[in-house]
A and B are shown apart, each in its own frame.
Chain A
Amino acid sequence: NAGVTQTPKFRVLKTGQSMTLLCAQDMNHEYMYWYRQDPGMGLRLIHYSVGEGTTAKGEVPDGYNVSRLKKQNFLLGLESAAPSQTSVYFCASSRRGGASNTEAFFGQGTRLTVV
């Protein structure tokens, strides 16, 4: 099993450019999440999805958009990248929440630098 796969692993963008980060999971999980990790701030939730075709805002959604057209994929888009979006982005997936077997599985992360 591949688990959760993020593409790409590294990327450098110029301010104002756009890009899409892809997250794919092969565990048939309902829930998927996008987090950003910055020093001293932990993992902050950007957007999440509780099922195919649904998305919801997390704590820091500004400047990002997401789509979940297929259950196994969760895309994170940056329409006009800003230096403040320099971060490590993690995708995670889990079974339906609120139960004892709903641990989150994380991808390996995408290191994004905006110059």
Chain B
Amino acid sequence: QQPVQSPQAVILREGEDAVINCSSSKALYSVHWYRQKHGEAPVFLMILLKGGEQKGHEKISASFNEKKQQSSLYLTASQLSYSGTYFCGTEGEYGNKLVFGAGTILRVKS
């Protein structure tokens, strides 16, 4: 079952912040985050394992609340290069099936 992402789309000006949410109805072992530019393949950003950890990647960070089966991706001081579609992917209990959400379209304007 696909995780649910919100919002579906967001438009920002350079320097603004955004949060993308991902939730699942099933127990999660891990959450992945990827970014896809138009016409390209998705590219890995980060992975979070159960344990409630938070990770960072330049000005992009994420959190994972395993009890709530939710993850959030935080983009701070957005840049034009952040534009794209962001996907969360989830692995269930046995960590063998990576299922993605419908994606969040992020557009950063100058």
Contact = CB atoms under 8 A, between A and B. Distances in A.
A107 B40 CA distance: 9
A3 B55 CA distance: 25
Contact of A45 (B44, B94, B97): B97
In which size bucket is the chain B interface? Answer: 20 to 34
A74 interface: no
A90 B98 contact: no
A59 B49 contact: no
Contact of B87 (A42, A97, A109): A42
Interface of A: 31, 33, 35, 40-45, 48, 50, 56, 58-59, 90, 92, 94, 96-100, 102-109
Interface of B: 1-2, 5, 29-30, 32, 34, 40-44, 47, 49, 87, 89, 91, 94-103
Shortest Cβ-Cβ A-B pairs, 3 listed: A98-B95, A97-B95, A42-B102
